[in-house]
Amino acid sequence: MSIHQQVRDWWHARRKPKPLGVRGEAAAARFLKQKGYVIVGRSERDRIGGIDLVAVDGRTVVFVEVKTRRHHDAGRPVEAVDSDKQRRITRTSLSYLRRHDLLENAARLDIVAVTWPDGQRMPTIEHCRDAFEPTDTGQMFS
């Protein structure tokens, strides 16, 4: 393979469009920043599960699940966060609060739904504050 071909392959690989979920998460982070949130974590993972974005809104820690879809043929993105997913998000959020010694802080569970049809330059974004009640935590969230 010639150096010319290697450079061309490298250039095309760099310009490859990012997956829809990655673009949706970045759009959600920009959206929240414009609303005054401070993003303190992205793609937070532990043995329990994952959280797409961790943000601070005033004095509240906000755990954000981002759902990105091209269209609503299979339902709205928010509807994809079923009770099982809510339970995993709650447990992962609680684990995050413990790890970072933030149990005394108010916390909230939000969903940001991103709809980004093919060929559309900008997505439609819907922010659902307090999208669901924490499960299996007692009084850990307020």
Burial 88-126 (b: 16+ CB within 10 A, else e): bbbbbbbbbbeeeeeeeeebbbbbbbbbbeeeeeebebe
Tokens matching residue 94: 């609680």
* pLDDT one-digit tens code per residue, 111-136: 999 998 888 889 999 999 999 988 86
* pLDDT one-digit tens code per residue, 67-93: 999 887 777 878 889 999 999 999 999
Tell me the CATH architecture of domain 19-128: 3-Layer(aba) Sandwich (3.40)
